[in-house]
Structure 1
Amino acid sequence: MKILIVTQYYPPEFAVIQSTLAQQLSERGHEVRVLTGFPSYPHGKLYAGFKQSWHHTESHGRVLIRRVPLIINHSQNSLARIANYLSFALSTLLASGFARNVDVVYVYATQMTAAIAPHFWRRTLRIPFVLHVQDLWPESITDSSLIKSSVLGRVMSAILAPFLSAVYKQSSAVIPIAPTMRDLLADRGVDEKKLHTVYNWAEDSDDLTTATRVIRPTGGVCVTYAGNLGDLQDLETVLEAARLVLDLVGFRLVLVGTGVAERSLRQQAAEKSLTNVEFRGRVPPKEMNLIYAESDFQLVTLKDIPIFRGTIPSKFQGSLARGVAIIATVAGDVTAIVQDEGVGLTAPPENPVALADAFRAAYFMPDKARAELGRRGRALYLRSMSAQAGVDAIETILTEAASEITK
């Protein structure tokens, strides 16, 4: 097949799913193209070595990549962020020639605006497209700090609703990343025959499936949060829970990453005198194995918002793949998986007392029991969430979508 991947983000940005999918599909004999933006995430600055232009192409192995200009912004200014999303959509439309003669388009939908051009191509060029939904809209926009008032949120929902309905209707298939997300999409009118749940996979998962565990340092316990320090990650609750366990000698909470809430979180930690909290900032992806190696538990958190019950943050798979036990405060699918599969501890979201209790349980857990949680997690990952399983499923979905036009 000739496959076009449309994604606003692609390496050197953190883009595990898109890049793994492109490389593995090309290795299986498909002709793969990628239409993406110039790299600027997460800092909102163009990466060194890049200059925006209309004629930039590059190759990663057998994968041909075209980058299109966009308005670069990752601030909390709602108009600037919307301009960022829409500028990529417009540039993608203007690069329609890159989509000609492809059999199917795969859309990596963190922002649903990435589907604007594929939706247009479906109508004009008769190219089928498949949506891989990472975040549910409109709530991912209206419930974030980008929207400052409930009135504006309702206006945005009203504007987005007909667009989202049209995109789902025109799509050949929709891939939710969790069972509850599938149910929510079905409730919103998406044809159940189009819905195919595929779990995300972890970075470097091919290597991890044959990796041996690294022996962790002894003494106390290290709980790590590695990811976006944003306003929806419920990290204020995490810091308050850390305050409640200041009496635990050797308890360490390590926060890895950057984001819009980082400054506020550092200030809160200073005001609370949290001597058990350490901020590491952004860590290069190649160094993340060292972070996992020193972690006894990985923290997976989100605020208590209904759409998050169908969200599985990528750090969840990354931790399972490396055999690191989980402490989860994400209601819905994540909590259900952790409890049903016995891969860690859980607490309700936005509940610092309950999370502090989980921290204490982790602290006093025997090493053998902790290692068993990690072993089960790794087995779960290899069984259900590996890159091979995910790419196999998506390849089948794309093949079926491509066959629509020839039927």
Structure 2
Amino acid sequence: MKSPARTFLFLSQVYAPDPAAVGQHLADAAEELVRRGHRVIVYTSLRGYDDPSASFPRNETRGGVDIRRVPFSSFGKSSIAVRLLGGFLFVFQVVLRAAFQKGIDAVVVSTSPPVGALGGVFLSAIHRAPLKYWVMDVNPDQTVALGRMAPSSLLVRAFELMNRTVLRRAQDVIVLDRFMALRMNRKVDVSKKMSVIPPWAAEEPSQVIDHEVNPFRRDHGLAGKVVVMYSGNHGPSNPLTTIIDAAKRITDDPRLVLLFIGGGIGKGEVDRSVSDVVRSLPYQPRGQLRYSLAAADVHLVTVGDEIPGIVHPSKVYGAMAVERPILLVGPSENHVADLLAVDDIGWHVRHGDVAGAEIVLREILATNPEELRAKGRRARKVLEATGGRTAACARVCDVLGQGLPVDGR
């Protein structure tokens, strides 16, 4: 029996076409709910999350989703204070506007901004609608892990109180990996209403673009190069120093290119290191990802030592989707290490091991291109074994739609 049409209210400071992964995944889920016959209303920021100079239409419909953007809610990520100001202004405006929306059947909130979940609690109570909490990253844990705040600070304790309140009030909680599940359950045991659903690649092309016909490689002078690519957000949770220092040591093989694509507050380290070996590009449009991601020979994923369970390394799925092996720089215990343990799909180096990273880079340079492609094909198979993008998005939507009142509130 087909479920009745529902109205879902999404709150997120970031949403497509903003390139941030949180907004892209929310957009995929929202559009899938529309395809299932539901109505989805999204409140998001008028300005870009990483780049507040970018502006989007105040109101528009994308993929059948009703998107409403609010001003004065994103000022960039130059400091914690600036991010908090944007987050609180966003939540304040959205609660005022969405409180009067009629017929809301479920409130969906993620972790952008971190205080957004509190707005979800208020709107869930106002509309007497279930709260669905999709955890993409965990704060204040990230701020504490990076040494920016003390665990005993008043702001951290206030955030922890908010987290516990949201976890108790949520009807369902979605987390991205087993490490995040453990961390959230330590705050409040929500194991009975928790689903562990890893995210997915922005695209899973049916046919991978070969280097010889890839316009991205041609346009960026990558013919004959061995490209190790980092594509996505450059944040403090993804340290890059080890691999950059290792690449600088390889001066005897001009084929190596360490290509960084994206933005974020960590991009400065890359830009200061730009050379014939280290190159830097901005975020690429979503429609061009099949070309830019496939331009790599190997994809770089970094995970900070204190970050497992706090930030999920979602960029790994785009690499696997285009059949590219993975070079992981990070601790022994993290989600990407779990994936590497499934099959021979890449390499693993610890942070600080510059000599080890250099050895791996030289091994990549010496590896037959066909063997690199074989590793990449195995990576795609590991991804497909989970059902891939379609199955993961469908599972999220199943959770968002389950347990809603049948005969109204």
1:214 aligned onto 2:210: yes
- Percent of pairs identical after alignment? 21
Structure 1 residues 374 and 293 mapped into 2: Cα distance closer, same or farther (>3 Å)?
same
The aligned residue for residue 283 of structure 1 is 284
Q: Secondary structure at the match of 2:257?
A: strand
Give the letter aligned to residue 182 of structure 1: A
The aligned residue for residue 322 of structure 1 is 322
Q: Report if aligned partners of 2:45, 2:73 keep a CA contact under 8 Å in 1.
A: no
Deviates more, 1:77-86 or 1:100-109: 100-109
1:378 aligned onto 2:380: yes
Give the letter aligned to residue 312 of structure 2: I
Structure 1 residues 373 and 404 mapped into 2: Cα distance closer, same or farther (>3 Å)?
farther
Distance in 1 between the 2:343 and 2:223 partners? 26
What's the offset of the Cα at 1:393? 0.9
Structure 1 residues 220 and 67 mapped into 2: Cα distance closer, same or farther (>3 Å)?
closer
Deviates more, 1:257-266 or 1:293-302: 257-266
Structure 1 residues 290 and 181 mapped into 2: Cα distance closer, same or farther (>3 Å)?
same
1:137-157: per-residue Cα shift (whole Å, max 9, x none)? 112233447x3xx44873332
Structure 1 residues 170 and 338 mapped into 2: Cα distance closer, same or farther (>3 Å)?
same
Q: 1:256 aligns with which of 261, 273, 281?
A: 261
Distance in 2 between the 1:183 and 1:152 partners? 19
Structure 1 segments of 4+ aligned residues over 6 angstroms from their partners: 404-407
Unaligned runs of 5+ in 1: 51-55
What's the offset of the Cα at 1:234? 0.7
The aligned residue for residue 123 of structure 1 is 125
Unaligned runs of 5+ in 2: 1-5, 213-221
Distance in 2 between the 1:137 and 1:348 partners? 24
1:366 aligned onto 2:371: no
The aligned residue for residue 171 of structure 1 is 170
1:41 aligned onto 2:49: yes
Give the letter aligned to residue 322 of structure 1: V
Distance in 2 between the 1:80 and 1:158 partners? 19
What's the offset of the Cα at 1:281? 2.9
Give the letter aligned to residue 291 of structure 2: L
Structure 1 residues 289 and 379 mapped into 2: Cα distance closer, same or farther (>3 Å)?
same
Deviates more, 1:169-178 or 1:117-126: 117-126
1:19 aligned onto 2:27: yes
Give the letter aligned to residue 18 of structure 1: L
Give the letter aligned to residue 335 of structure 2: D
What's the offset of the Cα at 1:219? 4.3
Task: Describe how 1:196-215 pairs up with structure 2 within 5 A.
Answer: 196-205=195-204, 208=205, 210-215=206-211
Deviates more, 1:387-396 or 1:158-167: 387-396
Q: Secondary structure at the match of 1:402?
A: coil
Structure 1 residues 349 and 295 mapped into 2: Cα distance closer, same or farther (>3 Å)?
same
Distance in 1 between the 2:191 and 2:368 partners? 45
The aligned residue for residue 301 of structure 2 is 300
TM-score normalised per structure 1? 0.88
The aligned residue for residue 391 of structure 1 is 393
RMSD in angstroms over aligned alpha carbons?
Answer: 2.4
Give the letter aligned to residue 225 of structure 1: Y
Q: Report if aligned partners of 1:133, 1:177 keep a CA contact under 8 Å in 2.
A: yes
Q: Report if aligned partners of 1:16, 1:202 keep a CA contact under 8 Å in 2.
A: no
Give the letter aligned to residue 214 of structure 1: D
Give the letter aligned to residue 41 of structure 2: R
Task: Describe how 1:24-173 pairs up with structure 2 within 5 A.
Answer: 24-47=32-55, 50=57, 56-97=58-99, 99-144=101-146, 147=148, 150-151=149-150, 154-173=153-172
What's the offset of the Cα at 1:263? 3.0
1:152-204: per-residue Cα shift (whole Å, max 9, x none)? 87333212111111011000111111111112212222321111011111113
The aligned residue for residue 53 of structure 1 is none
Deviates more, 1:65-74 or 1:136-145: 136-145
Q: 2:335 aligns with which of 333, 336, 361?
A: 333
1:205-257: per-residue Cα shift (whole Å, max 9, x none)? 3xx1x224424577452101111223332112221111233333411111112
Structure 1 residues 399 and 262 mapped into 2: Cα distance closer, same or farther (>3 Å)?
closer
Q: Report if aligned partners of 1:107, 1:131 keep a CA contact under 8 Å in 2.
A: yes
TM-score normalised per structure 2? 0.88
Distance in 2 between the 1:112 and 1:26 partners? 26
